[in-house]
Structures are given as C-alpha cells and as structure tokens.
Structure 1
Amino acid sequence: MSRTEVVDLLEKTLTENEIAYSRKSGGGADVDHVILELPGEQKLKTTVLLTASEHGVRVEAFVCRRPDENHAGVYKYLLKRNRRLFGVAYTIDNTGDIYLVGRISADALGSDELDRVLGQVLEAADGDFNTLLELGFLSSIQREWAWRVSRGESLRNLLAFEHLIDKEALPEAGAPLEGRYVPGESVVEGAQTSSDEPASDD
C-alpha cells in the first residue's frame, strides 16, 4: 500500500468515526502527519500524532512531562502498565517526557483497529495521569496546595490530590509561604489546564 493510500484510508476511518483531526507537514520526510485530540476527565485532553507511511501508521501521544522526583517509582509503574496495554506502550523521549507510542500496520488499519488503539491511548493517558503526578510530582503538588492556601485561592482543581496533603502543616490563609515559589512552574499548574506538549518526532 502506498503512503497516499494509507493517508486516505486513515482520514476516511477518522471521518467515519467522527473524530476531528488536522494535517501537519511531514517536513520533507516520506510521511504525513495527522493530529487529533482525545477528551478526558483527569487529563483534559490528550494530543495524538498519527504518522502515516507506506508501512502503516505510527501512534504517539504526549502524557506528561519529565518527573521532578521518584524516577525509579515512575518508571516501575510505567513498565508494569506496559504489560496490560494493547497496541501502544509507554516510553520517554530524550528529555525524559512520557509518551505512549505504537504502530498499526497498513494491512490492519481500519475502523475497529484504530478505535481499539485510540481507546487504549485514552484509557492509559487519562487513567494513569493523576497516578503519575502523585508518583513523580508529589513535592510540587504539596507546594502548589500550600501556595494556594496562603493566597486564599481555589483548590477545586487540586481536590483529587487532597489525600497527599498534611493539612496541619499548611500556612494560614494570607500568611507568606516560606521559600521561593513561582506559580506556573509546577506540574500541577499544567495539569489543571491539561496543556499538552507537541508530540516529538524521536
């Protein structure tokens, strides 16, 4: 099957499944890129890059950025999750950011297979998101919570992590927070808006 035929079949399948997508230039390589977003609950959206070539479609989805801490715990979790995933697996890029990647052969590409693979991407990225934050960004979550309490700001978007907070150690509302803290630099700030990084081409 030619690359053009693979792209046509991919776009036809996405359209039949009523999945919105956009095209992206392959940058001169013998590939075509299709980008789509899967809505979630814990993670507002998961951006998926589908790279079509004559051999089939490569699937790549950004899950979260490089953990701040507990790398061994995060990677152990990802490796154990890989045993139960269909069509995709967890990996990291050159900077340590976490992705899901997989491939669909040209012969297997169709509505059922694409639906299964994208369903698995969403189940993993959305379902594992808070666990990955708890494992790899615990200090940031606790710091963000304390900062919001000290400023009297809403905790609504952090309530999923309430069990991680030592409330007796929190500052009083309006009290200064010890040490330097810059809002927007923590992973929790990104989590509440679910801002995704563009998928890498590694």
Structure 2
Amino acid sequence: MILRAEELAALESDIDAWLDDQLRTNPTVLTVDRGEPGQRRWYVRMTGEEKTVSTVWFTLGQRQLHCECHFMPAPEENEGRLYEYLLRRNRELTGLRFAIGVEDAVFLVAELPAHTVTETEIDRLLGSFYAYSERWFRPCMRIGYQTRFKN
C-alpha cells in the first residue's frame, strides 16, 4: 500500500512528535536529529551500558519505514563463528534481524509497512534496538575481537 502525500506528511508529523516526547522523557535517548531537508529521516542516538552509544536511523518512504542501527564493526577474527552466532540469534529476534552492511559491519535492521506505523510500533522498534544491542553487543565483540578481550 502506497501512502498519499498527505498521509505521509501526517505520519511524519506523528513521528516527529513522538520522538520529541522521547527526547524529553526517555533518559536513554540522547539526541534526535533529522536528515537533510526533504528527507523523512531521523537519527535517534541512545546511551546504553554494554554498548555506550547506539544510533538508530528511521527512514520513512511511501511504502515502508526502514530502520537500522550499526551494531558493530566487521570482525577482525572468528568471522565464521560470529556470523553463525548472529544467524542463530536472528531466530530469537522479534521484528529485527542482524545483517552484514557496508564495509562488512554488522547492523540490526527492520522494516514496517508504512501504513502500519504507529507510536506503539516505533516504541517497540526503538526498545528492541536498545534491548538487542545491550544483550548481544559484548558477546559478539568477544567473538569478533577475541584477541583484544583476552586480558
């Protein structure tokens, strides 16, 4: 389903309002920035304990809301073991998945049909990015950078 221009504008406004509220009330949300003028893109920077900072990109199009977060850089070692670990974790994820992106970095990604985007869904996605990063960042870094974590 393709959203009409007025539907996209209304959804963009709803996302702006929800993210502004998160910035004011959610201590995990550090900043919310917008993409270039004319883009329907948001950058939500969050703080965590296991992963100090994560940025989730939300990009709204006529058909879908695409979301992604840089999870970790490309592994320096144990690539096969790390990728197997991530594939096995994908079975446990709800609504998100691990993927290999630019420069072989690991990302968490998600897509929602644009007509299904609500504040509840955005909240669920943002919370999932946070929870999955906190849960699996350290184990993945220990696999992909084993030599650095020996001490």
TM-score by length of 1: 0.64
Does the 8 A contact of 1:67 with 1:137 survive in 2? yes
In structure 1, stretches of 5+ residues that fail to align are 143-164, 166-202
Deviates more, 1:80-89 or 1:102-111: 102-111
How many angstroms does 1:6 deviate by? Answer: 3.0
- Counterpart amino acid of residue 67 in structure 2: V
Runs of 4+ in 1 over 4 A off after TM superposition: none
Give distance in 2, aligned partners of 1:21 and 1:106: 20
Which of 69, 79, 88 matches 2:87? Answer: 79
How many angstroms does 1:21 deviate by? Answer: 1.1
After superposition, give the CA deviation of every residue in 1:92-128 in whole Å (9 maximum; x if it has no partner): 1131101001012222211211111111111111211
Which of 5, 9, 12 matches 1:7? Answer: 12
Please tell me the root mean square deviation across aligned C-alpha atoms, in Å.
1.8
Q: What's 1:55 paired with?
A: 63
Structure having the higher Rg: 1
Answering whether residue 75 of structure 2 is matched by residue 64 of structure 1, we say no
Give distance in 2, aligned partners of 1:94 and 1:17: 29
How many angstroms does 1:129 deviate by? Answer: 0.8
Q: What's 2:98 paired with?
A: 90
Answering whether residue 98 of structure 2 is matched by residue 104 of structure 1, we say no
Q: What's 2:140 paired with?
A: 132
Give distance in 2, aligned partners of 1:79 and 1:131: 14
Q: What's 1:24 paired with?
A: 35
SS of structure 2 residue aligned to 1:116: helix
Does the 8 A contact of 1:66 with 1:98 survive in 2? yes
In structure 2, the CA distance between the partners of 1:56 and 1:11, relative to structure 1 (3 Å rule), is farther
**What's the % identity of the aligned pairs?**
24
After superposition, give the CA deviation of every residue in 1:28-47 in whole Å (9 maximum; x if it has no partner): 7xx42110112211111111
- For CA contacts below 8 A with separation 6 or more, give which structure has more relative contact order: 2
Q: What's 1:44 paired with?
A: 52
SS of structure 2 residue aligned to 1:99: strand
